[in-house]
Amino acid sequence: MRKYQLLVILFLVSLSSYAQEGDFPIESETPRRGIYQTFEEFRFNIPGITDSFYVESKIRNQVNWEGTLSFTPRLAQKVKKRRRIWGFSMEGKVYVFHQLEYFEVKLDTTKVGFYGYKDLGPSGVIVGGSVGGAIGGGIYSAIAIKSAKKKRVYYQINLLNGKISPDAIDSNTASMEDQVAKLVIYRRGKKEKEAPLEVSIDGYPGFQLIPNTVKEIEVPLTREPLKVCYGDNLGQCIELLLISKGTRYLEASISTKSGETTLEQVNSELGTFNSKQAKYFQDKRENGGNKD
């Protein structure tokens, strides 16, 4: 019993030393390639699985996540997903499992955290080795997950206890300087009233959209939501969170059937297709009806 108590005391003293010095191995070392089965393996940069695995990836196209990748680590010999793991590392980058997917962890001298989906759980605790099983077990409804994926939230990882918590401010402000996102705002021609639609973006001159019109604007990245107002007297507004580079598509409309005025963000696949169609007719109109 005394031996056990002594080990506990030594462990706590060790943690206290790390807390004061702020130098867990993962903060100062290059992440080693492998699968971190637990949070402990992550912070001490000792992955429990270092070979016989590979990672599949595909491009996300959800709103607010265009241009990022979704990852699935697999064991080579079993060709199946590894669910009960904390995260993995490859090519010097670490990815943590959270809200059903893996997100890249940013390691710097002030914070360790990542951008992920809106938190679904009540506590936000990462329990090493069990989080995949818990979420994969169907605790959360498909509707809640779909809603959460539309939100982009910064989470900080506490290296002392493994907890993650939403943090409204990402300390790595310098990384956003001189970076821009592109807004593509368009109206289609089908079932659209001829009346122009007024649009105004914070800090930018307002403009009008008639049917089959496209407007492209470059906007600096920001941690404050960008307000886009539209309609009569600009009385309707939506907010955009632009914290990563890429193109965002906004589809505007004045319905011929209901007269309803809308402006909504759509995914890149739909936005690319519809905006190209609108651009075709816009160019044709501006060229006097001729489009080579």
Q: What is the CATH number of the domain that holds 252?
A: 2.60.40
Residue at 291 is within a domain:
no
Q: According to the per-residue pLDDT averaged within each range, which of 18-27, 67-76, 90-99, 122-131 is highest?
A: 90-99
On whether both 209 and 90 belong to a single domain, the answer is: no
Give the rounded percent of residues in the chain with a pLDDT score beyond 90. 32
Give the rounded percent of residues in the chain with a pLDDT score beyond 70. 73
For the chain, give the mean pLDDT: 77
On whether both 163 and 220 belong to a single domain, the answer is: no
CB atoms within 10 A of CB 267: 16
pLDDT score of 120: 62
Choice among 19-23, 99-103, 232-236, 262-266 with the minimum mean pLDDT: 19-23
Residue at 55 is within a domain:
yes
Q: Is the pLDDT of residue 222 over 80?
A: no
pLDDT score of 74: 82
> What does the pLDDT average to over 156-167?
84
End position of a domain, from candidates 171, 202, 229? 171
Residue at 117 is within a domain:
yes
pLDDT band at 237 (very low <50, low <70, confident <90, very high): very high
pLDDT score of 143: 60
Q: Which of 197, 201, 200 lies closest to 211, judged by CA?
A: 197
Q: Is the pLDDT of residue 282 over 50?
A: yes
On whether both 68 and 161 belong to a single domain, the answer is: yes
> What does the pLDDT average to over 79-106?
81
* 90, β-bridge pairs: 93
Q: Is the pLDDT of residue 59 over 60?
A: yes
Report how many domains make up the chain.
Answer: 2
On whether both 141 and 189 belong to a single domain, the answer is: no
On whether both 152 and 180 belong to a single domain, the answer is: no
On whether both 49 and 188 belong to a single domain, the answer is: no
Task: Identify the residue whose tokens are 């329990």.
Answer: 127
Q: Is the pLDDT of residue 54 over 50?
A: yes
Residue at 33 is within a domain:
yes
> What does the pLDDT average to over 161-181?
65
Q: Is the pLDDT of residue 11 over 70?
A: no
Per the model's pLDDT, the better-predicted residue between 129 and 235 turns out to be 235
On whether both 207 and 121 belong to a single domain, the answer is: no
Choice among 16-25, 47-56, 90-99, 166-175 with the minimum mean pLDDT: 166-175
Q: Which two tokens stand for residue 266?
A: 């759509």
On whether both 165 and 24 belong to a single domain, the answer is: yes
On whether both 97 and 55 belong to a single domain, the answer is: yes
End position of a domain, from candidates 171, 204, 237? 171
> What does the pLDDT average to over 67-90?
75
pTM metric for this prediction: 0.49
DSSP secondary structure of 253-291: EEBTTT--EEEEEE-HHHHHHHHHHHHHHHHHHHTTT--
End position of a domain, from candidates 112, 145, 171? 171
Distance CA(85)–CA(41), nearest Å, equals 10
Per the model's pLDDT, the better-predicted residue between 152 and 188 turns out to be 188
Per the model's pLDDT, the better-predicted residue between 112 and 18 turns out to be 112
Residue at 14 is within a domain:
yes
Distance CA(50)–CA(67), nearest Å, equals 28
Residue at 81 is within a domain:
yes
Domain of residue 82, residue span:
2-171
The pairing of beta strand 80-81 with beta strand 87-90: unpaired
On whether both 190 and 270 belong to a single domain, the answer is: yes
On whether both 118 and 210 belong to a single domain, the answer is: no
pLDDT score of 203: 64
On whether both 131 and 266 belong to a single domain, the answer is: no
Residue at 181 is within a domain:
yes
Residue at 32 is within a domain:
yes
